[in-house]
Amino acid sequence: MKSVVSVSHSLPLPRKIIHLDCDCFFAAVEMLAHPEWRDVPLAVGGAVERRGVISTCNYPARTFGVHSAMSSARALKLCPQLKLISGNMARYREVSEQIFAIYRRFSDQIEPVSLDEAYLDVTGSRLCDGSATRIAETIRQQVRDETGIVVSAGVAQNKFLAKVASDWNKPDGLCVITPEQQGEFVAQLDVKKIPGVGPRTQEKLMGLGVGVCSELQSLPLIELQNHFGRFGERLWQLSRGEDDREVRTHRERKSVSVEHTFSQDLPDLAACLDQLESLMDDLNTRYERHREARQILGAVVKIKFNNFSQTTAECRAEQPHKGVFASLMEEAWLRGARPVRLLGLGYRLGPREGEAEAEQLPLF
């Protein structure tokens, strides 16, 4: 009789991801410094005469329809009593560093997204009896006690759902999506919550009879690929709550860029081309700090027209010169052929010597 040897194969632990997002961060820092602003509509953004945009605003301002990325002029029309301030980036960085120091008490697997947003991987942590929910609650409390900033949190098995969850009960919210709840939660999720689904993609999905993820799940993968190309596969995965991205503690910069918003619209292509030398000087100054062992792989031009539509044109080029950028600018401008409010130039960068290709970051 043969003996049976039992071999134990340890399965990887299900991930526990926390997404942390400070509520109206820049405005929150300002309200801590100026308590008298707490209950008045407040926004941090650029001046109207410089065609500034809103960076962030507090919740009283949001009741008037003001939101980030809105032009300051539009925000003041919606809310004439809006207190618009230019902000203090040095102070925001200082508070952000205090907050991230608290995060590091709970995990060394931290992926910063911005000054006020981060992912934490707490898989296998023994803190708070191994409960990701309790870790998130403790972090939120410590940040509030030590900095005065309110943080909303989402807890889930992956980054996609953790980010959706952190926005679910804002402001000052905590949302947990357990593995048992994941299927039902995702099925009812509006497709606009999927990263990359903007107004145009949403409109196209609506044309296919898709408004929520359960409806998206019913479409075959090949059909999504036919309609959306490579993004179709990503839609197919995320509509099922599938996301295998790891929390990355280091993100290699893959681009460097500059952009300028003009106080008066540039009326035509010739006026845009007149700005090239100045923009290239700014771009090369910024590139110098990344130059060591960084190869330029391509050139990009961004144009935002006076109707706020925007487009980019790019090409591969190891030594982009003025003629390359001029050609790209003409290509981009002809798509709208109207006055221009913003121009941007950029380089795509290769990896550092000895390092593998890293995740692509947005150029602008």
**Binding site residue list for Mg(2+):** 21, 116
Catalytic one of 30, 49, 111, 117: 117
SS3 164: helix
Question: Is 44:56 a contact under the CB 8 Å cutoff?
Answer: yes
Residue 2 has which token pair?
């043969």
Residue 339 has which token pair?
């006055």
Distance CA 143, CA 121 (A): 18
Clarify whether 314 is annotated catalytic.
no
Element (H, E) at 41: none
Within a 10 A sphere around the Cβ of 94, how many other Cβ atoms?
12
Distance CA 44, CA 57 (A): 6
**Strand ranges (E), 16-166:** 17-22, 42-45, 54-57, 83-85, 110-114, 117-121, 151-156
Strand-pair category, 83-85 with 110-114: unpaired
Catalogue the active-site residues.
Answer: 117
